[in-house]
Homo-oligomer: A and B are copies of this chain.
Amino acid sequence: MSKGLSFLRGVIAGAPADEAGEVRAPSIHADAHAGRARAVVDAVLPVVDGGRFPVKRVTGEAVVIEAHVFTDGHDVPRVMLQWWKEGASRREEIPMKLRYNDEWHARFVAPAPGRYFYTVVAWVDAFESWHEELERRVDPDDIRIAARVGAQEIRAAAGRAADGADARVLADWAQALEADAADAEVDAEVLKALALDEQRADAARRHPDRSLEVRHAAELPLVVERVRARFSSWYELFPRSAGDTPGRHGTLQDVAKRLPLIAAMGFDIVYLPPIHPIGREQRKGRNNALSTEPGDVGSPWAIGAQEGGHKSILPELGTLEEFRALVADAAAHGMEMAMDIAFQCAPDHPYVREHPQWFRWRPDGTVQYAENPPKKYQDIYPFNFETDDWQGLWQELKSVLDHWIAQGVKVFRVDNPHTKSFTFWEWVVGEVKREHPDVIFLAEAFTRPKVMHRLAKLGYSQSYTYFTWRNSKEELTRYFTELTEAPGIDYFRPNVWPNTPDILHESLQSGLEATFKSRLVLAATLAASYGIYGPAFELFEHLPRGPGSEEYLDSEKYQLRHWNWDPEAGLRPLITRVNEIRRAHPALQANRSLRFLAIDNEHLIAYLKQSPDGRDVVVTVVNLDPHNAQQGWLALDPSEFDMEDDEAFQMHDLLTDQRFAWRGRHHFVRLEPRLPAHVMVLRRHLRDERDFDYYL
């Protein structure tokens, strides 16, 4: 049996042995019912790759399902959405409603993180078809015959109702219809009214004939995660530089001292680069030098030395107990710690000695280090995922995740996942989330689009993006439009970063505060998840290692740094305000509603986000020119927001607390480099001042 089959079997796991169903190349030799079924379930949406991968949602978020269902002729289908948690014995069933154009809708909210399935069943409903035709009948003779036809349907429904109260109601109704239809004294309109009695119709609807029910071919998977998988604010810092004393190696306890500041700025995930022992063989020196000088601390991503590997902590940082305390301390501040997962080894990692079969050996008896000729990374040994001992390797790597989950970690930022086997990732992410549905994985893959999408499809909760390299109005508009379109919107959750320890974009190298401000506001309002690498970002760190380089000069990746921890320093007050706004406004906590607004200045970008209930509307305008004030006319049509064309409304800038009175469809905006952004909430119904207070 090929793997293809095992995949397909997975899709329909748990399907009941129903006799009617979606038939392909229908056979005339099939069971007694197959050819009689007339309902067609043409599509069920959303769907990712035909059901090969799950759609993603978070708890509390409505899962809106659309089905394309119809039948031949004018008969009326009834359509049910079915959904269930993986392994559940019972399916929830929700009636779907026809919107238009054969599109049926229903929604549900999954109660908890986990793996779910949904599908759609439909049948042609004889009672409903009769009822619907009868409403349109005018000929008295037709009504009389129709009443007798209906009596047959109703009597059949009574039979299906067995001996409950409905059975009696329906049997009586059928009898009355037949009697009145036979009685020439009864007026046809009176008979019609009896036949269309809504209360009794509902009783009939409770007992439909589902013997010719058709089931959609696929049971579509859905992964529900906790809200933070969609809405999160990340702060990355190097613990080695978290101390108070210049030149002294920072510790986990020093990181704990920074938690109040990070929490006050409004972040909810604190992400540390790898905290494991760092290899000594082939260690890189300051500024990525090939040789070290005494005291050089090396790159935290060169993991493993005699002190231990991926389950150990660099002694200079502290102990496992101190790490657990840090996790608890972060939780007390409403935050959580994210662990860096870099599945690779320094040459002196214990794995190299203990599991030589996990590496690729060269004919000269050395291990193949990471390289992309002519570039070489002699301090990094990649795992060989083609090893015969792949099961041993997979188990061990999973045990690394299990180890840190046992210490309280529930967020993993995975380093370069695209250089490790996708099959492995699908397995390990799936297994971990099966055991711990609240674990979040962020894929740090800066690579080709299809590769990044595959990682998102196979299970990563969030993905790094090209945001860092999208700077012009056109680039940003095109990229974020793409990110919010189907099918990606259903599985790819962007996490956008203005900077990382690896990427100091050219635009920031100017050191212009206006650029740092605009990139912050863009990141925080374009995407529901964003992060900064601090304190480098908020303190305007901007010198590159060399011309044309995107690496920081004197990067913490290779040495200790010392930072200013004053809460008022640099961008910290603005960051605090931006994160406050994000927390207060549901519009900014999801990506789907994003749309760009026309504004007649190429340096000004404007976009709108809206909460699912439509009540929270946030308009952001950013001046992309760090040197000059820019102004323009922004198009915003009040009629799209339940307002009259000429109704005045208020735009309240949440950054400055300024309030603008707008009316009509075009609105003047001017932004100076000093504060190059508006983040404005739309306030309607000026006639009732209290309505302003719904959000903030």
Give Cα A419 to B49, complex, Å.
Answer: 32
A417 CB → nearest B CB, Å: 8
Q: Are B374 and A138 in contact (CB under 8 A)?
A: yes
Q: Are A418 and B72 in contact (CB under 8 A)?
A: yes
Asked whether any CB of chain B lies closer than 8 Å to the CB of A6, the reply is yes
B-side contacts of A373, CB under 8 Å: 133-134, 136-138, 142
Give Cα A124 to B423, complex, Å.
Answer: 13
A253 CB → nearest B CB, Å: 38
B-side contacts of A387, CB under 8 Å: 36
> Knowing A28-B391, A448-B70 touch, does A23 contact B3 (C-beta < 8 A)?
yes
A290 CB → nearest B CB, Å: 13
Give Cα A148 to B366, complex, Å.
Answer: 13
In chain B, what residue has the closest Cβ to A387? Answer: B36
Asked whether any CB of chain B lies closer than 8 Å to the CB of A394, the reply is yes
Q: Are A34 and B3 in contact (CB under 8 A)?
A: yes
B-side contacts of A70, CB under 8 Å: 448, 450-451, 454
Asked whether any CB of chain B lies closer than 8 Å to the CB of A563, the reply is no
Give Cα A388 to B50, complex, Å.
Answer: 34
> Knowing A137-B373, A374-B137 touch, does A12 contact B5 (C-beta < 8 A)?
yes
Q: Are B22 and A7 in contact (CB under 8 A)?
A: yes
Q: Are A42 and B363 in contact (CB under 8 A)?
A: no
A76 CB → nearest B CB, Å: 12
Q: Mark A212-223, 1 if CB is under 8 A from B, else 0.
A: 100111110000
Give Cα A50 to B45, complex, Å.
Answer: 13
B-side contacts of A49, CB under 8 Å: 43, 50
Give Cα A596 to B426, complex, Å.
Answer: 44
Asked whether any CB of chain B lies closer than 8 Å to the CB of A260, the reply is no
In chain B, what residue has the closest Cβ to A70? Answer: B451
B-side contacts of A391, CB under 8 Å: 28, 35
A247 CB → nearest B CB, Å: 37
> Knowing A17-B1, A418-B72 touch, does A395 contact B28 (C-beta < 8 A)?
yes
A459 CB → nearest B CB, Å: 9
Question: Size class of A's contact patch?
Answer: 35 or more
In chain B, what residue has the closest Cβ to A178? Answer: B363
Among B215, B421, B449, B454, point to the contact of A2 (Cβ < 8 A). Answer: B215
Q: Are A362 and B145 in contact (CB under 8 A)?
A: yes
A525 CB → nearest B CB, Å: 29
Copies of this protein in the assembly total 2
Q: Are A385 and B36 in contact (CB under 8 A)?
A: yes
Q: Are A42 and B450 in contact (CB under 8 A)?
A: yes
Among B28, B32, B385, point to the contact of A72 (Cβ < 8 A). Answer: B385
Asked whether any CB of chain B lies closer than 8 Å to the CB of A291, the reply is no
Among B24, B137, B450, point to the contact of A102 (Cβ < 8 A). Answer: B450
Asked whether any CB of chain B lies closer than 8 Å to the CB of A257, the reply is no
B-side contacts of A531, CB under 8 Å: none
A213 CB → nearest B CB, Å: 11
A399 CB → nearest B CB, Å: 12
Give Cα A136 to B8, complex, Å.
Answer: 41
Q: Are A217 and B8 in contact (CB under 8 A)?
A: yes
Asked whether any CB of chain B lies closer than 8 Å to the CB of A687, the reply is no
B-side contacts of A662, CB under 8 Å: none
B-side contacts of A142, CB under 8 Å: 373, 376
A252 CB → nearest B CB, Å: 32
Q: Are B28 and A394 in contact (CB under 8 A)?
A: yes
A370 CB → nearest B CB, Å: 9
Q: Are A148 and B362 in contact (CB under 8 A)?
A: yes
Q: Mark A1-36, 1 if CB is under 8 A from B, else 0.
A: 111111111111001111011111111101010111
A118 CB → nearest B CB, Å: 14
Q: Mark A63-86, 1 if CB is under 8 A from B, else 0.
A: 000001011111000000000000
In chain B, what residue has the closest Cβ to A363? Answer: B148
> Knowing A40-B454, A421-B38, A450-B68 touch, does A26 contact B426 (C-beta < 8 A)?
yes
Q: Mark A103-115, 1 if CB is under 8 A from B, else 0.
A: 0000000000000
B-side contacts of A362, CB under 8 Å: 145, 148-149
Among B23, B51, B418, point to the contact of A423 (Cβ < 8 A). Answer: B23
Asked whether any CB of chain B lies closer than 8 Å to the CB of A427, the reply is yes
B-side contacts of A595, CB under 8 Å: none
Name the residue in A24, A149, A385 with the highest tally of chain B Cβ atoms < 10 Å from its Cβ.
A24
Give Cα A12 to B394, complex, Å.
Answer: 29
Q: Are B448 and A38 in contact (CB under 8 A)?
A: no
A155 CB → nearest B CB, Å: 11
Q: Are A427 and B35 in contact (CB under 8 A)?
A: yes
Give Cα A23 to B137, complex, Å.
Answer: 56
B-side contacts of A71, CB under 8 Å: 422
Interface CB pairs A-B, < 8 A, 13: A1-B17, A3-B23, A3-B30, A7-B24, A8-B8, A8-B217, A25-B427, A35-B390, A35-B391, A35-B423, A36-B386, A136-B374, A139-B374
Which positions in A face B, CB cutoff 8 Å? 1-12, 15-18, 20-28, 30, 32, 34-38, 40, 42-43, 49-52, 68, 70-74, 101-102, 124, 133-134, 136-139, 142, 145, 148-149, 151-152, 212, 215-219, 362-364, 371-374, 376, 382, 385-388, 390-391, 394-395, 418-424, 426-427, 430, 448-451, 453-454
- What are the 4 closest A-B residue pairs judged by CB atoms, nearest first? A3-B21, A50-B50, A7-B24, A136-B373
